[in-house]
Chain A
Amino acid sequence: MTVPPFAELGFYHILDAAAWDHLLFVAALIAPFAPRDFKLWLSALTAFTLGHTLAMAGQVALKVPLNEQLVEGAVLVTLIFTAGRVVWFKGAPKSSRRGWLGPELAVAALFGVVHGLAFAKDLGPLLPSDAGALWAAWGWFAGGIELGQLSVVAAVFVVRWMASTRGFSPKDFALALGALTLGISLHLASQWYLA
């Protein structure tokens, strides 16, 4: 069985080592959560996928002229906000720990929208005009994104488990991962600003 190319594209779109923002965002988003909180982190990741996919579809259909530099800057803002929030609250805020994920869902969806707008420019010109084929391509792409994110989540949880065997508490791990992603995000933001 061959993997549909748009699923493969979505999968590697997340895991692209040259595009750190996705990897960092997923890591920062799930930093405060344990695997057993899967309802919380899975809904946040799905909000991102929905935002990304719908924004791409909307942008391909409407072709709203966008300032590429501003869109890239907005991606970094959402990333810094997500990582900064983990550091500020030393993990997840109390509301999230109680299961209310409003801010996480909103930020994840917003990040998805912003990044979807940026990626629409790259992928849009190759998409078919036939509606059935277009929806199939979107579906596979969204599925690939979700799988790519789940593989990042799996890697983070493995590192989290390894850290726990060395005496790191979940709070320490979330803070360390949040600080690391925030530091890299600020570096990326400075590169963007200088460019």
Chain B
Amino acid sequence: MHLASHEITVGPKRSEWVVRLFTDDLEDAISASLGGTKVRLERPEGRSHAENYVRSKLTIFRGRKALDLHIDGFTYQPDAVEIRMHVDGGLPLSITDRLLHDRFDDQRNVYFVRGPKGRLDAVSTSANPKIELR
């Protein structure tokens, strides 16, 4: 089974978001999306590759309004990369998460969400990539 994780802390003015992906899985997926070009995320262009990939695979709505995904930081480690982001405002959020689903049929993206009413957990799969946080 392939895994990635999202940790979202919902605040009244903005929601902080950290996504953690295995480095080799992400390199593999980006490489496939670039037509097979070898990608190494520790290189200087690694961050922009990762950001572009995440932006292309994550869409966020509040009601009918599409939200901008602000990317605040990127940490590379040989095992996993961590991308820190935020969206303006709190809940509700409607997320369509296709990260790595096109690459791995058994991909599960696990959401750990801490909202104003407590903790919420959810999972995005290739069959059901949509997450509704209310």
Contacts and interface: CB of A to CB of B under 8 A. Distances in A.
A168 B114 CA distance: 56
A121 interface: yes
Nearest to B6: A128
Contacts of A129: 7, 18
Nearest to B113: A133
B80 A126 contact: yes
B121 A136 contact: yes
B5 interface: yes
B59 interface: no
Interface residues of B, number: 20
B6 to A, nearest CB: 9
Interface stretch (A6-14, A86-94, A98-106, A179-187): A6-14
Contact of B123 (A5, A122, A133, A136): A5
B114 A125 contact: no
Contacts of A127: 5
Contacts of B5: 126-128
A133 B1 contact: no
A9 B119 contact: no
Nearest to B80: A125
A132 B119 CA distance: 8
Interface in B42-101: 77, 79-80, 82
A interface: dominant SS: helix
Given A9-B1, A9-B3, A126 B22 contact: yes
B9 interface: yes
A133 B3 contact: no
B4 interface: yes
Interface in B105-134: 108, 110, 112, 114, 119, 121, 123
Contact of B7 (A4, A121, A133): A133
Nearest to A9: B1
A74 B110 CA distance: 32
Given A5-B123, A9-B1, A9-B3, A133 B114 contact: yes
B119 A125 contact: no
B20 A126 contact: yes
Contacts of B7: 128-130, 133
B112 A130 contact: yes
Q: What 8 pairs between A and B have smallest CB-CB spacing?
A: A125-B80, A133-B112, A128-B112, A126-B5, A5-B108, A128-B7, A125-B79, A5-B110
11 contacts: A9-B1, A9-B3, A12-B1, A123-B3, A126-B3, A126-B110, A127-B5, A128-B5, A133-B7, A133-B114, A136-B121
Interface of A: 2, 4-6, 8-9, 12, 121-130, 132-133, 136-137
